[in-house]
Amino acid sequence: MNFTEAKIKSEKLRKIIEQHNHSYYVDANPVISDFEYDLLVKELEKIEKEFPELQTADSPTQRTGNDINNEFVQVKHKYPMLSLGNTYSESDLVDFDRRIKKITGDDFEYVCELKFDGISISLTYKNGMLTQAVTRGDGEKGDEVTANIRTIRNIPLKIYGDYPEEFEIRGEIFMPHASFERLNKEREEAGEMPFANPRNATAGTIKLQNSSQVAKRGLDCFLYYLLGENLPHSNHYDNLQEAKKWGFPISQNIQKCQTIRQVIDYINLWDTERKKLPYDTDGVVIKVNNIEQQEELGLTAKSPRWAIAYKFKAEQATTKLLSIDFQVGRTGAITPVANLQPVLLAGTTVKRASLHNQEQINLLDIRTGDSVIVEKGGEIIPKIVGVNKSHRTDESKEFEYITHCPECGTKLEREESEAKHFCPNENGCHPQIIGKIEHFISRKAMAIDGLGAETIELLYKNHLIANVADLYDLTKEQLLPLERIGEKSAENIIKSIEDSKNVEFQRVLFAIGIRFVGETTAKKIVEKLHSIDEIMAANYETLLQIDEIGERIAQSIIKYFANQKNQNIVQRLRNAGLQMEAKETLIKISDKFKGMNFVVSGTFASYSRDALKQLIEQHGGKNVSAISASTTYLVAGEKSGQAKIEKANKLKVKIIDENKFNELINE
């Protein structure tokens, strides 16, 4: 490869990797397997090594992803949270072993552990109490998610025995298979998108704003790394066994190994045994046991030299690609789906697999009739990851991507920044109509009960509804003749539709289904623009000034309201009596409490507790339920909890009364 070729190739790779980072970290919806991702990064690393002048400061080889969610307070890690070098090959392990021996000599041992597939977390304990839980974030600082983590049952809030006064313990939060299946079933019933895999479900759960919701999701945890000044032992293994005695969940399947051969035996054993575990693992982590030797080995820029992750390959099978179908989603997004010759993969027969988008098909050069490699990682839907080109026969046909919607025949569109094609006929295309209504009635939107996917389909087929505004014209008499709808359920549906007229405006804005306007975005818009009229009148520049609204969202809002059909629907919803403006209390007043966390306790003379909490939010602050080191103020009223006051004193959190709170607001 000459310099010019390397330059073009590295730029292209960087762009692709960044897109995958976005899918993984921001959308929590990975498009390719970890293995393929690692191959891309390794390819880029190789080019940058050969042509160092091509390396850019912002190259994905120079940083790992970031899971910071702006709604949480960010906290700097006392010890950075490093990632691990990883490998898929035994020969890399032998090299790793050689490098270690070169530095420490022959006298050392390894500890092998399973690599749990979840979200890493760092817990701080002071005087035996859990005081803080922080996500990895960018490794330097992460989100403080203590209130959510406290809901995970096997994480001790208080520990017992002879523990150091202060220490950190790190581990992985994950969602066991049983919780994952239950959650996805509930989501599908509520018309919400199911999570692609337990890891994504975990990431989504940890970032929920409401910790009582987290508690219901059945998360679990294993801890695997103790850090601090006065640890009980001079080796990792004994420290973990000690931590177990204090009450921490430590895996049973940790093993000390004297040689790299024993490490490889452990890996081979667990590559099959792991399938019996009730949670996902994606590899084995190999660590040098002795802490002094760990220190001697030290760190590279990104990861310790004393540990490495061996990643299991996802299970694969080879089969024939028979044909390609196209599915149209709620938003009009087109997904190509492969029909396969049925093949057994990881215990189930696979007949269909996702092909993601046109670019992916072109990149892999997939043709119908090809012999393809199907992979099942943590995802429910298997995917095609490659083609056996050497097996290609005359039967293979280059594939023409569709130009028109398979459901309604409308010409498809594709924006430059988007990977997928879209059907623009949002109010006239069957799956989009049904999808929009399902979204509208879902729990976080209008929360209309009694209308499942099947009932909506039934109402649509009977010409009773064709859009969300039609719901408000439904009568009990129209519902009664339909199959499966009795007197009682008809009454419930009508009552629930009636009740939805009280749903607050920000949820109505979310419910009408403007592309890219999710729950949080709707909330941000309503903080600035307080009614549907203001939003409809807002121009592009006005929209861009709103927090977290970029060009893509602004354009989508403008486009939505420019459509006459959407204008009619909004008008009909308004006539039906839905909330089309924010209640006074929701409106943002100032940013004076931005970045501050409040705990409110007791009763107050001039406010209800809820009113006081609302004021905090209106001034940009955040209400949290438990006091931790990152709490800014405890607002203590009459009969405020004694335990809270003691804890605030202990952690040096400022305690203020109602008068002082008023002063702060009026300052």
Q: How far is the CB of 251 from ligand IVH (least distance, A)?
A: 7
| Segment interacting with ligand IVH, rule: CB under 6 A, options 202-210, 302-310, 432-440, 505-513 | 302-310
HEC states along 599-621? Answer: EEECECCCCCHHHHHHHHHHCCC
From the centroid of its chain, how far is CA 479? Answer: 39
Q: How many CB atoms lie within 10 A of CB 15?
A: 10
Q: Scanning the structure block, which residue is given the tokens 């092909």?
A: 355
Identity of the amino acid at 532: I
Q: How far is the CB of 84 from ligand IVH (least distance, A)?
A: 4
Task: Collect all residues with Cβ–Cβ distance below 8 Å to 518 and sequence separation of at least 6.
Answer: 510
Q: Which of 120, 455, 597, 640 binds ligand IVH (CB under 6 A)?
A: 120
Q: How far is the CB of 83 from ligand IVH (least distance, A)?
A: 4
- Closest listed residue to residue 285, CA positions, set 261, 249, 309: 309
The two beta strands, 371-376 and 383-387, are: antiparallel
d(CA 179, CA 84): 28
d(CA 336, CA 333): 10
The two beta strands, 597-601 and 622-623, are: parallel
Residue 229 burial (C-beta neighbours within 10 Å; 0-12, 13-18, 19+): exposed
Q: How far is the CB of 38 from ligand IVH (least distance, A)?
A: 11
- Closest listed residue to residue 23, CA positions, set 515, 418, 442, 572: 418
Please say which residue, 307 or 573, places its beta carbon nearer to ligand IVH: 307
Please say which residue, 253 or 614, places its beta carbon nearer to ligand IVH: 253
Please say which residue, 114 or 627, places its beta carbon nearer to ligand IVH: 114
The token duo for 519 is 């729950």
Q: Is residue 309 part of the contact set for ligand IVH (CB under 6 A)?
A: yes
The CA-based angle 500-501-504, given to 5 degrees, is 85
Please say which residue, 83 or 316, places its beta carbon nearer to ligand IVH: 83
Helix (H) or strand (E) holding 638: none
Q: How far is the CB of 120 from ligand IVH (least distance, A)?
A: 3
Binding track, positions 222-261, relative to ligand IVH; x by CB under 6 A: --xx------------------------------------
Q: Which residue of the chain is nearest ligand IVH when measured via CB?
A: 120
Q: How far is the CB of 20 from ligand IVH (least distance, A)?
A: 17
d(CA 412, CA 424): 7
The token duo for 248 is 């921490």
Q: Which of 24, 72, 116, 598 binds ligand IVH (CB under 6 A)?
A: 116
Query: Contact at 8 Å (CB) between 569 and 469?
Result: yes
For residues 585-604, which are near ligand IVH according to CB under 6 A? none
The token duo for 283 is 């590899």
Q: Scanning the structure block, which residue is given the tokens 């807002």?
A: 538
Please say which residue, 24 or 225, places its beta carbon nearer to ligand IVH: 225
Q: How far is the CB of 121 from ligand IVH (least distance, A)?
A: 8
- Closest listed residue to residue 437, CA positions, set 464, 477, 465: 465
Please say which residue, 283 or 336, places its beta carbon nearer to ligand IVH: 283
| Segment interacting with ligand IVH, rule: CB under 6 A, options 4-12, 92-100, 115-123, 445-453 | 115-123
- Closest listed residue to residue 198, CA positions, set 44, 398, 372, 28: 28
From the centroid of its chain, how far is CA 271? Answer: 26
d(CA 505, CA 532): 8
Q: How far is the CB of 197 from ligand IVH (least distance, A)?
A: 15
Please say which residue, 300 or 417, places its beta carbon nearer to ligand IVH: 300
Please say which residue, 303 or 556, places its beta carbon nearer to ligand IVH: 303
d(CA 73, CA 50): 41
The token duo for 343 is 């093949």
Q: Binding residues for ligand IVH, how many (CB under 6 A)?
A: 14
Q: How far is the CB of 27 from ligand IVH (least distance, A)?
A: 19
Q: Is residue 307 part of the contact set for ligand IVH (CB under 6 A)?
A: yes
Q: Is residue 133 part of the contact set for ligand IVH (CB under 6 A)?
A: no
Q: How many CB atoms lie within 10 A of CB 543?
A: 21
Please say which residue, 207 or 647, places its beta carbon nearer to ligand IVH: 207
Alpha-carbon torsion (536, 537, 541, 545), positive or negative? negative
Taking the alpha carbons at both ends of the chain, their separation in whole angstroms is 65
Catalytic site positions: 115
Query: Contact at 8 Å (CB) between 145 and 133?
Result: yes
For residues 75-114, which are near ligand IVH according to CB under 6 A? 82-84, 113
Q: How far is the CB of 218 from ligand IVH (least distance, A)?
A: 19
Q: How far is the CB of 116 from ligand IVH (least distance, A)?
A: 4
Please say which residue, 113 or 658, places its beta carbon nearer to ligand IVH: 113
Please say which residue, 225 or 237, places its beta carbon nearer to ligand IVH: 225
Query: Contact at 8 Å (CB) between 629 and 131?
Result: yes
- Closest listed residue to residue 435, CA positions, set 349, 358, 322, 512: 512
Q: How far is the CB of 100 from ligand IVH (least distance, A)?
A: 15
For residues 504-543, which are near ligand IVH according to CB under 6 A? none
| Segment interacting with ligand IVH, rule: CB under 6 A, options 36-44, 304-312, 418-426, 567-575 | 304-312
DSSP H helical segments within 282-410, as ranges? Answer: 291-297, 358-364
For residues 144-203, which are near ligand IVH according to CB under 6 A? 172
d(CA 358, CA 162): 59
Query: Contact at 8 Å (CB) between 224 and 171?
Result: yes
Please say which residue, 120 or 357, places its beta carbon nearer to ligand IVH: 120
Binding site for ligand IVH (CB under 6 A): 82-84, 113, 115-116, 120, 172, 224-225, 285, 304, 307, 309
